[in-house]
A and B are shown apart, each in its own frame.
Chain A
Amino acid sequence: MNILTANLRHLYQRRGLWLFYAFLGLLVLLSIMAALGNPRAGKGQFIWFIAIAFLIGFITVALAIDVLTKPFSYCLPGHRKTVRRLIFWIGIVISFLGSLPFLAYPGLLSWEPFLMLCSAFCANLIFYWLGVGLAFINRNAAAAIGYLCFAGFAGIFFDLHITSESAIVLCPVAVICVGLLTSIVAWFRLGYEGLARRYCDVLWVSLFDAWNRDKLQRYRKTRAAIKWDKKLKTHPNPWVERFFLGRMQKYEFFRTGRYIWGGLYTTFGVAISQWKGALSGVFVALPVVCFLGYMGPGAVVVFYIVPVSMVAYVRLPVYSSMLVWGGRNERFFTVMILAATTSVLITALVTIIAAFSLPLAAIMPDITLRGGTFTFHAIYIKLCFVPLLMIPIVFTIQLFFFKKPYFVIVTIMLLFMLLFTGGSLLKALSTMIDPIYLVVGLLVLSWIIFVAVLYYICKRRCLV
């Protein structure tokens, strides 16, 4: 088997890719339906194939880097040159396939389909190289996928799909030139002698490492160590240390209070040390509030998404092999206090963000953008209890799937789906039960579940 074949075998040997193929298949199907179902010129219907080329470019390089970063691959004979061949082969095949639907573009004259084919092929290549480039510079491919989805929606909002399609159709020669030029640049860049050396044994979070807890921890630790050494030299701040150690010392030795204050220190020490950074966060929060205000009713996502994303990666100190004298009882009480404190702080934060929108509603002007008028609405602050409801649920999921972050993410996504689809059920319930009782009932229920699970884990489960 030659080296190129061995690399191509990654495309089916990695089981995680099958999920991606399923997603890609769905995307291709939707793209065909969009382009060929009712083909219309100038509507951006044909651009989806090009978006797929971008995605494939990104995935191909993510896989290639996965191999490149393994130290053994550096020494494999001929392996260093295979990267370029692999990426180019896949790029050419995908770009060709992606350009074929443009033959069905409405209103083409006799000789134009060929030119259109070339233009679409080169456009595919351009987007493919964009995906390739992004994957090469991004050390955390798994996280980048999330940003790409967001960028995709933003692109649609600003009609980038229509603009790109128009460029392919109206300026084919320019697109062909740019496509060829980018391909030549890519050919030389990928053939660079030091490429393999640059990536050899570099800590890189590849596409499927989102589920690799050990690797993610190592990655975060390495990144954090650089950050701590460069930016946070004085953290935790001496006064923060004095405060927490002082609180600990107020309790006698071996009292749970001392352990709880220790837990609070290790959880919030860095965050409190960066209080100046938190203040500057207010300036970040203001545009966010403005954006949310113009979103209309959708702005209530601030109560759902923000708290969940803030606590999704908080590591509760139940599972810890760093032994100070905290037994299972002490861990139980400490985590309970930590969860409560975290919930209250985050709830306060999102409530403040929502409260900002109240005075702004009176002064913010209407914005007319692309034919639509956007009016600033205050965020529906009555939903500020939601973080108090969501956070214990997320913590419960984390406690259960501590060793399987994959399940944490999937379960949280399912929870969101349940929330958004179960809205009507909640409305129906609120007509039968007084909404205040309903809210209080749900809050109590979520906290009881969390405490019960925490108690079970602290008393009956292994803690490493």
Chain B
Amino acid sequence: MSSKDPIVQMRRVCKRFGKTKALDEVDLQIYRGRIIGLLGANGAGKSTLLRHIIGLYLPDEGHCTTFGCEAGKLGPMQLARIGYVHQEGELLDWMMVKQLVRYVSTYYPNWNNELEERYIDDFEISTKARVGSLSPGQRQRLAILLAIGFEPELLILDEPASTLDPIARAQFLDLLLKIIQDENRAIIISSHILSDVEKVIDHAVIMKEGRILVDCSFDQLQERFSRVRISSLSGELPAELPFKNVVKCQRSNGEAILTVKDYSQEQIEQAAQSLDCQIEIQPLSLEEIYKIVVS
């Protein structure tokens, strides 16, 4: 498997839970050197998709391969290259933090003690505390430590920051950026805090009802959607504006704010030339793009 091959490859993966179709013909490829944002509403199938990647779920149809191996047959050699933080936060509650860290580190030959110590200091984890009595935020920090301590090539983060406070979230995002400096790695992050996610991701996957609606680089996604403020220089704007893919339009005295899709900056400027107006083009935030895509 060369470094240019995708780490994860999903082909027409379907998964049903009773009558619910959790994944519906999902095709996805994940390459090294990327931070992928996996976005979607509750029940969109994000966690199901992630669990297929590590082989905890088996597809009803289709294929999922991770590190070139069928995900359901992943062995120790492949799993030791994957770090996983999950939203349930399942840990060994009866251990003390330091004992749990020692226990997990015993599994990995490449456990980074220096990283562990730095992380414990930075994230203020109390090593003498009992895991079962940690607050949800502390628990989440510990889960992240256990997932990154062995410097995995593929880091899967399923709602990792939902219980972290703003400062810890910022530290966490910095940490992700440091991890991804090694181009041999990939990070998949599923989160509802889009304002955070957009600071770090370079690829976006948006899901709805088990289907992937968008799978492209974040730059491409941002280029697809723009907000155009058109201000008339002489009285009212015409009733019909020369834009076709208008997602949203707000008008007021001689001014219109349009959200348009699939227009380049040149195309917008050309379209606006026919009007006697001033235009201002703004990129949309991930949250705004997400709302447009899923609605």
Give residues in A with beta carbon < 8 Å to B.
Answer: 221, 224-226, 228-229, 232, 235-236, 241, 245, 248-249, 253-255, 258-259, 262, 265-266, 269-270, 320-330, 459-464
CB contact between B88 and one of A226, A232, A321, A325 (< 8 Å): that residue: A321
B73 engages A328 (CB within 8 Å): yes
Query: Are B103 and A328 closer than 8 Å at their CB atoms?
Result: no
Q: Contacts A241-B102, A245-B103, A262-B107 known; A464 to B51 CB distance under 8 Å?
A: yes
Chain A residue at smallest Cβ distance from B74: A327
Say whether B86 contacts A325, CB under 8 Å.
Answer: no
* B103 close to A329 (CB less than 8 A): no
Assess whether B93 is in contact with A225, with CB atoms less than 8 Å apart: yes
Tell me the smallest distance from the CB of A263 to a CB of chain B, in Å: 11
Whether A463 contacts B56 in the complex (CB less than 8 A), given A221-B132, A235-B94, A241-B99, comes out as yes
Q: B99, A327: Cβ atoms under 8 Å? A: no
- Centre residue among B90, B99, B103, B104 by max chain A CB count within 10 A: B103
Tell me the bound Cα distance from A328 to B102 in angstroms: 23
By the criterion CB–CB under 8 Å, are A327 and B93 in contact?
no
- A241 proximity list for chain B (CB < 8 A): 99, 102-103
Is the C-beta of B109 less than 8 angstroms from some C-beta in chain A? yes
Q: Which of B56, B90, B108 contacts A253 (CB 8 A)?
A: B108
Q: How far is the CB of A181 from chain B (nearest CB, A)?
A: 43
B108 and A245 within 8 A (CB): no
* Residues A327 and B75 in contact in the complex (CB < 8 Å), given A258-B107, A262-B107, A460-B58: yes
Asked if B238 is an interface residue, CB under 8 A from chain A, the answer is: no
At the interface, yes or no: B84 with Cβ under 8 Å from chain A? yes
Complex interface residues of chain B between 94 and 135 (CB less than 8 A to chain A): 94-95, 99, 102-104, 106-109, 130, 132-133
The answer to whether B90 and A249 have CB atoms under 8 Å apart is no
User: A325-B79, A327-B79 are contacts. A224–B58 as well, Cβ < 8 Å?
Assistant: no
Please give, as numbers and ranges, the residues of chain B lying within 8 Å of A226 by CB-CB distance: 133
CA of A326 to CA of B86 in the docked complex: distance in angstroms? 16
Bound CA span A300–B220, Å: 73
Q: Which residues of A contact B80 (CB under 8 A)?
A: 253-254, 325
- Whether B133 and A328, one on each chain, are in contact in the complex, defined by CB atoms closer than 8 angstroms, is no
Chain A residues, Cβ within 8 Å of B104 = 324
Q: How far is the CA of A329 from the CA of B55 in the complex (A)?
A: 12
**In the complex, the 6 A-B pairs of residues with the closest C-beta atoms, listed nearest first:** A254-B76, A225-B132, A325-B79, A325-B80, A323-B84, A225-B133
> Within the assembled complex, what's the spacing in Å between the Cα atoms of A236 and B93?
11
Is the CB of B271 closer than 8 A to any CB of chain A? Answer: no
Let me know if B107 and A325 touch, CB within 8 A.
yes
Give the distance to chain A from B192, nearest Cβ to Cβ, in Å: 19
Contact A266 B76 (CB under 8 A): no
**What is the CA–CA distance of A254 and B109 in the complex, to the nearest angstrom?**
9
Contact of B130 among A229, A259, A322, A327 (CB under 8 A): A229
Is A253 a contact of B103 with CB atoms below 8 Å? no
Interface residue from A265, A326, A459, A463 paired with B79 (Cβ < 8 Å): A326
Q: Could you show 6 A-B contacts with beta carbons less than 8 Å apart? A: A228-B93, A255-B76, A323-B54, A324-B79, A459-B72, A463-B56
B90 touches A321 (CB 8 A): yes
Shortest distance in angstroms between B53's beta carbon and chain A's nearest beta carbon?
A: 11
> A228, A262, A324, A329: which contacts B133 (Cβ < 8 A)?
A228
Contacts of B54 in A (CB 8 A): 323
- Which chain A residue lies CB-closest to B128? A233
A461 to B57, CA, bound (A): 7
Are B102 and A245 closer than 8 Å at their CB atoms?
A: yes
Determine if A462 and B76 form an interchain contact, defined as CB atoms under 8 angstroms apart: no
CB distance from A113 to the nearest CB of B (A): 59
Q: How far is the CA of A258 from the CA of B76 in the complex (A)?
A: 11
Minimum distance in angstroms from A88 CB to a CB of chain B? 40
B77 lies within 8 A of chain A by Cβ: yes
- B247 on the A face (CB < 8 A): no
* Minimal Cβ-Cβ distance residue in A for B104: A324
**Chain A, residue nearest B82 (CB):** A323
Contact check, B92 vs A266: say whether CB atoms are below 8 A apart: yes
Residues of the A chain whose Cβ atoms lie less than 8 Å from the Cβ of B83:
323
Given contacts A236-B94, A258-B107, contact A328 B72 (CB under 8 A): yes
Known: A245-B102, A253-B109, A262-B103. Is A327-B94 also a contact (CB below 8 A)?
A: no
* A462 B79 Cβ-Cβ under 8 A: no
Residues from chain B with Cβ under 8 Å of A262 in the complex: 103, 106-107
Q: Are A254 and B77 in contact (CB under 8 A)?
A: yes
Contact indicator A325/B76 (Cβ below 8 Å): yes
Contacts A323-B84, A325-B107 supplied; 6 other A-B pairs, CB < 8 Å = A229-B130, A259-B76, A321-B56, A321-B88, A325-B108, A328-B73
Measured between C-beta atoms, what is the minimum distance from B142 to chain A in Å?
11
Q: Given B51, B90, B91, B106, which contacts A245 in the complex, CB threshold below 8 Å? A: B106
Cα–Cα, bound, A460→B80 (Å): 22
Q: Say whether A253 contacts B82, CB under 8 Å.
A: no
Distance between B209 CB and nearest chain A CB, rounded to angstroms: 20
Quote the shortest CB–CB distance from A260 to chain B (angstroms): 12
Q: Are B57 and A464 in contact (CB under 8 A)?
A: yes
Question: Pick the contact of B76 from A248, A327, A459 — CB < 8 Å?
Answer: A327
Q: Give CA–CA (A322, B83) in the complex, Å.
A: 10
**If A269-B94, A324-B104 touch, does A236 touch B56 (CB 8 Å cutoff)?**
no
Q: Which residues of B contact A232 (CB under 8 A)?
A: 94
Cβ A327 vs Cβ B56 within 8 A = no
B99 with A224: CB separation less than 8 A: no
B79-A323 in contact (CB<8A): yes
For B91, the closest partner residue in chain A by CB is A322
Chain A residue with the shortest CB-CB distance to B58: A462
Chain A residues within an 8 Å CB radius of B95: 236, 269
B90 A320 Cβ-Cβ under 8 A: yes
User: Which A residues touch B86, using CB under 8 A?
Assistant: 321-323
Chain B nearest CB from A460 CB (Å) reads 7
Least CB distance, B83 to chain A, in whole angstroms: 8
**Which residues of chain A have C-beta atoms less than 8 A from B58's C-beta?**
460-462
Closest to B132 in A: A225
Most chain B Cβ neighbours within 10 Å, of A228, A265, A270, A330: A228
Smallest CB–CB gap between A222 and chain B, Å? 8
A364–B108 CA distance with the chains assembled, in angstroms: 57
Kindly list chain A residues whose C-beta atoms are within 8 Å of the C-beta of B107.
248, 253, 258-259, 262, 324-325
Contact A224:B132 (CB < 8 A) given known A235-B94, A262-B106, A460-B58:
yes
Residues of chain B from 210 to 256 with CB closer than 8 A to chain A in the complex: none
A266→B55 CA distance, assembly (Å): 22
- Residues of A near B78 (CB, < 8 A) are 327
Of all chain B residues, the one with the shortest Cβ separation from A461 is B58
Q: Mark B40-53, 1 if CB is under 8 A from A, else 0.
A: 00000000000100
Name the residue of chain B whose CB is nearest to the CB of A246.
B106
Q: Is A224 a contact of B93 with CB atoms below 8 Å?
A: yes
Chain B residues contacting A225 (CB-CB under 8 Å) are 93, 130, 132-133
Given the complex, which residues of A lie within 8 Å of B108, measured CB to CB?
Answer: 253, 325
